[in-house]
Amino acid sequence: MKQKYFYTTLLLFILFSFGALAQESRGISGAAKEPIEGLNIYPNPVSGGRIYVTTKYGQPKEVDIFDVLGKKVVSATLSGKELNINDLTPGVYIIKIREGDATATRKLIVK
């Protein structure tokens, strides 16, 4: 049973990752999006319940975190760099960050 769950989760993650990469490079509207300069998300994998999101310009950021099924589990606006993710269960997530007109999507692992 555990092995079946693992393979199902892995397959869904792979499919979702390809979709997220396609959206990152083209955007939802189909137009090319600017990347976020100097984007750094750490620590990844996360074990302390907090992540830090920094960029070159340090502007306010809209952050959304999705589970492997595509359900939004966290939505926040950061004026600083720290985001509390204590409520997330261990697993693999997709984090989407918007700063001005720039957008980036990355994989986030919570231990």
pLDDT digit string (tens) for 7-40? 666 655 666 665 555 454 444 444 456 789 999 9
Given a cut of 90, is residue 59 above it in pLDDT? yes
Given a cut of 80, is residue 62 above it in pLDDT? yes
CA–CA distance, 51 with 54 (Å, rounded to integer) = 10
H or E stretch covering 41: strand 40-42
Residue 34, pLDDT score: 75
CATH of the domain at 101: 2.60.40.3080
Which residues constitute the domain of residue 48?
Answer: 2-110
Overall number of domains in the chain:
1
